[in-house]
A and B are shown apart, each in its own frame.
Chain A
Amino acid sequence: MPGDEGPERTSLYCTFRLGALLVGIDVRRVQEVLKQDRMTSVPLAPAEVKGLINLRGEIVTAIDLRPQLGLPTDEELNANVVIRAEPDTFSLLVNEVGDVVSPASDDWEPVPAGVPRRVRQVVSGTFKLEGRLLLVLDLERVLALLDQRQEMAGVRGA
C-alpha cells in the first residue's frame, strides 16, 4: 500500500474539483491541464470512458471518475487533467482545476472509516486542508480498475 506510508516523498498535489469533492493527484503524474476540447464519444464503451480527445495529434481517452466516486453525473465537466500511463494517455475529466498545494505531512490521514468501498478503491488517503478535505487519488489503482473492465470482457471469442 503505497499511500499508507504517508506522503513524505510527494509533497505537491495538483488539486481539482470533482462534483462536491476536492481531489488531488501527485503533481509529477500530471502531464498538463487543459480546457475541454471537442470530444468524440465511444458507443458501447465502459461507462467511465466519456470519449476520445485529440491532444496535438495524440488520441487521449477521457475518463469520468464520478460514478466510481459515487458522484452525480449531471454536471458538465470541462477541464482535463492529462495523465500519461504508457502506452496510453488518459485525461481525467474534472469540473474545475484548482491550485497546486503542498500540504503538511502532519495533516495526512488514511481514508476515514465509513467511506464506501468503491471510493476506497481509488483513493489512497486524505489531507486535512484548512476547511476542506483533499482526497488523494491513487492513479495506479484507477488504472488497474480500468484494466479490470477490460479483463471482464475477457478473450474475445473467434
Chain B
Amino acid sequence: MGGVDDSMDEVVQEFLVESAENLDQLDRDLVSLERDPGSRELLAGIFRTVHTIKGTTGFLGFRRLEALAHKGENLLSKLRDGLLVLDAERTTALLELVDAVRHMLAHIEATGNDEDGSDLTELMDRLVALQEPGASQVATPPAAADDGTSARARAGAPAVPSAAREAPPVTPSSSEEPPGAAATKPASPKPAAAKRRPKAARPGSGAAGAAEVTAPPSVGPIDEPQDSHLSPGPAVPAPRAVADAPQPGTPDRGPGEGTQAQHTGPAAADRSVRVDVELLETLMRQVGELVLARNQLLSHAAELADRGRAMQRLSLIVSELQEDVMRTRMQPVEQLWSKLPRVVRDLAKQFGKEVELALNGGDTELDRSVLEAVKDPLTHLVRNAMDHGIEAPDKRAAMGKPRAGSLSLSASHQGGLVILEMTDDGAGIDPERVGAKALQKELVTEAQLAAMSQREIIDLVFRPGFSTAETVTNVSGRGVGMDVVRTNIEQIGGTVDLLSTPGRGTTVRVKIPLTLAIIPALLVVCRDGRYAIPQSGVQELVRLEGDALHTQVEAVDGALIYRLRGRLLPLLRLDAMLGHTSASLSERSSLDVVVVQADGEPFALAVDSIEGTQEIVVKPLARVLKHLSTYAGATILGDGGVALILDIGGLARAGVVSDGRSAVHQQDDKGASGEGTRSLLVLRVGPDRRVAVPLEQVARLEELDASTVEHAGSHRTVQYRGALLPLVWLGDVIGVPSDAGSNGRLPVVVCGEGSGSVGLVADQILDVVNEVVAVNELGRGTGVLGTTVVQGRATDLLDLPTVAMYAGVAMARTLDLSLAAAPEETEVALDAR
C-alpha cells in the first residue's frame, strides 16, 4: 500500500482518460477549424486543451510530452492572437501533434513513461518553423501545390510517413476571408461555433441534424463552408453571445456532452460526472426487476382499494426511472460520426482523392455497447469506400462525374433496428471482377459461380480471404476486410447488405438491433404464441370479413394476393410462415391482416388476431437462435410473458422472395386442392422403390455436381447457398442399394430451413402429385412412416425428422412431418382401414 505511488497512479490514470477525450475533441476541432479558420472560439478551445495537456504533463514529469505540447501551444497562441493564419499545412502539423501525443499516452499507459522511441525532432522543428508568419506559403512554390512528394522533400524526413502531408494551397485559407483581413479579423462569424457543436448549436435543424465536412486536397479555395452566406463580409458583432445562446435551449444533453464541456469553461464541467459502466449495468438490471415487481403488484391494484393512488404514483415513478436509466446507456451516433471527418481527411490526402463527406442522423441514439461494437466495422467500411470505391479525381472527371466523390453516412431508426447506411458515388462493385477474384482465390468453383446471381456474387466479398484491391494498401485490402466487418456486425445480431451499381456507386446497409431501446410494437397472436411487430414497420391494420375475404384475396398459382385499394400486395400467412399448417381460407369467416413494409416493399401478413400495441424492450436471442431470420429478438411483455419480435424483412425474404416453393405457396396449394388431399413429391430410390415427401416440407429441388460433395466428420455435405447442407442418401436410410450420383449428377431435395436444412439424395425426382393420403402402417420402418398409394403404386412416406437425423440435423419440431399437419386425416385414414 504505497500511499504516494497509488495516488500518483490514480492521477496518471485520470490524466490519461481525460487526455484521450481531449485529443478526440482536438481532432474534431482542428478539422472544423481548417474549414473555418477565423473562429476564435475554436482556436481558444484548442489552445486551452493543448495548454492543459502541457501543464499536466509537466506536473507529472513527462518531459518529452511537455516539450512537444509546448511547441504546439506556441504555434496555437500565435494563431489565436491572429498573428498567423491556419492553413492546411499548419492543420496537418497540429493533427500530427495530436497523433504523437496520443501515441505517447498509449506508451505511458503501457509502461509508465513517455519514452516511446518516436523521433519528434522533425515534427517539433516544423511546429517551430510554422510559427513564422507566411512560412508555409513562402516555403512552397505554387507549382508544388497538391504534390505530396515535394512537400515531403522540403520538410525533410517525415516522422509520420503515413499521413502524407499536403502542400498548402497558395490561396488564402478560406474564401471567406479576404487576404490581409484574416490575420487581424477580430471576431469569429457565427457559423464557427455552430459547427463546433453540431448537436447543441444548431437550433434550426434539430432532428435531421447534418454535419458536412469537406476534406479535399484543394485546388484553389479550400472550400465554401456550406453556411457561408450567414457570414457576410463584415464580421457579425457580438459573436460570443450567438455562439453560447443555443446551449440553454438543449438542456437534455446529459452525459454525452461531457467531452465538449471543457471548452465552455468549468461551469459546464460541473454538470456531468463519470460513472462506471458496470454500475450503470447493475442499475439497469435492478430497475428491470423493479419494473417487473411493479407489474405484478399492478395486477392486484384493485385489492389495494384506497391505496390505489399511491400505487399509481409508484407505478409512474418506476416508469420514469426506467426510462431515465435506459437513457444513461444511450448515446448518439454522433459519437461515431465525429471521428469520421478526421479519418476521411487523412485518407483523402493519402490516396490523393477528393471527398465530400455528409453525415446525417447523428442524433439517432444507440446503446453504448452497440455503438462500441460498430465503431471498427464502420471505420473499415469508410476506408474501403475511400480506397476502392471513390475514384481518383482525374478518373472521375474523365467519366463525367464531379471531381470530388461523395460519401454520405446516415443513421436512422427503422422497424426496431438502427440502420446505418453508407453510400458512395464511386466505381461500385463489378460482379465480374469479384467472380474472377473469387475463382482465383479458389473460394468458389466455376460451376458454383455460374449458378450464382449477381447479388450472390457481390456477396462473395464477405467471404474470408477475399480482397479485391488490385494493389494491397496499408489501409484496406489486407484480406481481412469485409468478412470481419460482417462477423463483427453479426455478433451483435446485425446484418450487412451490399447494393452496388458498377460505375455508379455502392451502398452498404448495416442493420443493428437497438438492444436496450424501447420501441412501440404491435402485438399479434398466432396459434398459442404472441408476436411483436415493430410499429415502425406497420402501415395499417385491416380486418377482412364476409365477401371482402373472397373478393379482395385471390390465389394466383398458389400465392395469395391481397387487393388493398387497387394495390396488389402479396399476402403471407404468419402461421404458415412459422411452420404451422393453416386451414384453407375458405373455412375462415374473417381474417386479420397487418400491412407491413420491409425494405420499401409492402406486403400483407395474415395473423390469427391482433392484440394491441405495447412499448417493448428489444432483447437479443441466444446464439443458437440467431440464424432464424424470422425473428429480430424477443421481449418481455407487461404480464411477464415472453414474445418473439418478428423481423419483417426476414419474413418477406422467406415468403416472397424465395424463388422455389415458398411457405405461402405451399399452404395454399393445399387449400386449392381440396379436402384430404396432399401434395407429394415422389422420388425414385434404388431401381424401383418409390418414396414420397410432403411438398410443404420441400424447400427446393436441385441437381448438384456429385464431385462437390465433401466429408465433414462422418457426414457428407455440400456447400449450398453459402452454408453447408448435410446430405442423406435415401437408399442408406431405407436399405435399398442406390446408385445416385453415378452419372456425376445428384438429384437433391432440399428440405427445411436454416439449421434444419437437409438434402435428400434420391436416384430420380419423379413427380409432384395431389393425392388423398391414406397411410398404411404396413411399410413402417426406419425413416418411413408408412405406405400409401400414389398414382396406383405403393409409395413409402418419408419420416423427415428421422431421416434428417441421419445427417445429424435436428429438424425443427414445427416442421415435423406434415402429417402432423393433418393429424385427423391420418387417424381417420388409419381407422378406416
Contact = CB atoms under 8 A, between A and B. Distances in A.
Interface string B576-613: 00111000000000000000000000000000000000
Interface in A16-43: 38-43
Interface in A36-93: 38-49, 51-54, 56-59, 61, 67, 87-90
A158 B455 contact: yes
Contact of B815 (A41, A44, A52, A87): A44
A49 to B, nearest CB: 6
A156 interface: yes
Contacts of B757: 152-153
A135 B796 CA distance: 39
Interface stretch (A7-15, A100-108, A124-132, A142-150): A142-150
B642 A153 contact: no
Q: Which interface residue of B291, B455, B628 has the most chain A CB atoms within 10 A?
A: B628
B518 interface: no
Given A40-B642, A152-B724, A158-B497, A57 B756 contact: no
Given A52-B634, A61-B625, A154-B723, A46 B812 contact: yes
A53 to B, nearest CB: 7
B626 interface: yes
A113 interface: no
B446 interface: no
Interface in B461-504: 462, 486, 495, 497-498
A44 B628 CA distance: 7
Interface string B626-649: 111111001010001111100000
A49 B757 CA distance: 16
B116 interface: no
Contacts of A38: 640-642
Nearest to B624: A146
Contacts of B456: 157-158
A155 interface: yes
B642 A43 contact: no
Contact of B624 (A39, A43, A147): A147
Nearest to A47: B810
A57 to B, nearest CB: 4
Contacts of B623: 87-88, 146-147, 150
Nearest to A61: B622
A153 B627 contact: yes
B624 A150 contact: yes
Contacts of B620: 87
A152 B717 CA distance: 10
A40 B459 contact: no
Interface of B: 285, 288-289, 291-292, 455-456, 459, 462, 486, 495, 497-498, 528-530, 578-580, 619-631, 634, 636, 640-644, 721-724, 726, 753-757, 801, 809-815
7 contacts: A38-B641, A40-B641, A52-B642, A59-B636, A61-B624, A87-B620, A157-B722
Given A43-B812, A47-B801, A59-B621, 20 more contacts: A43-B630, A44-B628, A45-B812, A48-B624, A51-B642, A53-B642, A57-B636, A59-B622, A59-B642, A61-B625, A87-B620, A149-B624, A149-B755, A150-B624, A151-B724, A152-B724, A154-B627, A154-B721, A157-B459, A158-B498
